[in-house]
Structure 1
Amino acid sequence: MGALTALEKLVPVVLAFGCGVLLARRKVVPADSSRAFADYAFLFAVPCYLFGNIYSSDLGALFDWRAILAYATTAALAVLTVGVLAGLGGVRDPRGVALRIMAGVQVNTAYFAVPVFITLFGNAAPIFPVLLFQVCVLTLVIISIMELGRPERDATAGAGPRLLLRAVGASLVTPVVLACNAGILLNLLSLHVPKAVLDGFSFVGDSASPVALFALGLHLGGSGLTVRGTTREEIGLIAFKCLVFPLMTWAVCATVFGVDGDWLKYLVLIAAMPAPQNLFIFAQRYDVGVDMSASLVIKSSVAALFLLPLWMQWAVHVG
Structure 2
Amino acid sequence: MEGVVLGFATIAVVIAVGALVAHLGIVDLAAQGVLARVSFFVATPALLVTTVARADVHDVLSRSLVATVVGVAVPATIYLLAARRWRRTAGERVVGALASSYVNAGNLGIPIAAYVLGDAALVAPTLLLQLLVLQPLALAVLDADVAGRRPRAREVLVGPFTNPLTVGTLVGLVLSLTGWRLPEVVAAPVELIGAMAVPGVLLAYGISLRLGPGFGGGVPRGELALTSTLKLAVQPLVAWAVAHHALGISGAALLAVVVCSSLPTAQNIFVHATRYDRATTLARDTILVTTIGAVPLIAVVVLLLGP
Same fold by TM-score, threshold 0.5 exceeded? Answer: yes
Question: How far does residue 204 in structure 1 lie from its aligned partner after superposition?
Answer: 1.7
1:221-276 CA-partner distances (Å, limit 9, x unpaired) = 11254489881211121111011110000111222222222221111111101111
1:183-207 CA-partner distances (Å, limit 9, x unpaired) = 1123323334213322322222222
Question: How far does residue 35 in structure 1 lie from its aligned partner after superposition?
Answer: 0.9
Residue 207 of structure 1: aligned partner: 196
Asked if 1 retains the 8 angstrom alpha-carbon contact of 2:63 and 2:247, the reply is yes
Residue correspondence of structure 1 range 77-116 to structure 2 within 5 A: 77-87=74-84, 89-116=85-112
Residues 1:307 and 1:76: Cα distance change in structure 2 (over 3 Å) = closer
Match of 1:219 among 198, 202, 208: 208
Residues 1:238 and 1:200: Cα distance change in structure 2 (over 3 Å) = same
Q: Secondary structure at the match of 1:33?
A: helix
Amino acid at match of 1:269: V
Residue 301 of structure 1: aligned partner: 291
Match of 1:136 among 123, 132, 136: 132
Asked if 2 retains the 8 angstrom alpha-carbon contact of 1:51 and 1:183, the reply is yes
Residue 12 of structure 1: aligned partner: 10
Question: How far does residue 311 in structure 1 lie from its aligned partner after superposition?
Answer: 1.8
Residue 277 of structure 1: aligned partner: 267
RMSD over aligned CA atoms reads: 2.2
Q: Please, which runs of 5 or more residues in structure 2 have no aligned partner?
A: none
**Comparing 39-48 and 251-260, the one that deviates more:** 251-260
Amino acid at match of 1:289: A
TM-score in terms of structure 1 length: 0.88
1:95-137 CA-partner distances (Å, limit 9, x unpaired) = 1110111011110123322232222133311112211111111
Asked if 2 retains the 8 angstrom alpha-carbon contact of 1:117 and 1:124, the reply is yes
Asked if 1 retains the 8 angstrom alpha-carbon contact of 2:32 and 2:208, the reply is yes
Residue correspondence of structure 1 range 229-308 to structure 2 within 5 A: 231-308=221-298
TM-score in terms of structure 2 length: 0.91
Asked if 1 retains the 8 angstrom alpha-carbon contact of 2:43 and 2:194, the reply is yes
Asked if 1 retains the 8 angstrom alpha-carbon contact of 2:91 and 2:141, the reply is yes
Match of 1:66 among 36, 60, 63: 63
CA distance in 1, matches of 2:245, 2:292: 30
**Comparing 100-109 and 18-27, the one that deviates more:** 18-27
Amino acid at match of 1:270: C
1:171 aligns with 2:168: no
Question: How far does residue 168 in structure 1 lie from its aligned partner after superposition?
Answer: 4.2
Amino acid at match of 2:73: A
Count of residue pairs brought into register by the alignment: 306
Question: How far does residue 177 in structure 1 lie from its aligned partner after superposition?
Answer: 0.8
Residue 54 of structure 1: aligned partner: 52
Q: Secondary structure at the match of 1:182?
A: helix
Residue 43 of structure 1: aligned partner: 41
Match of 2:25 among 27, 31, 52: 27
CA distance in 1, matches of 2:9, 2:257: 25
CA distance in 1, matches of 2:214, 2:289: 9
Asked if 2 retains the 8 angstrom alpha-carbon contact of 1:109 and 1:127, the reply is yes
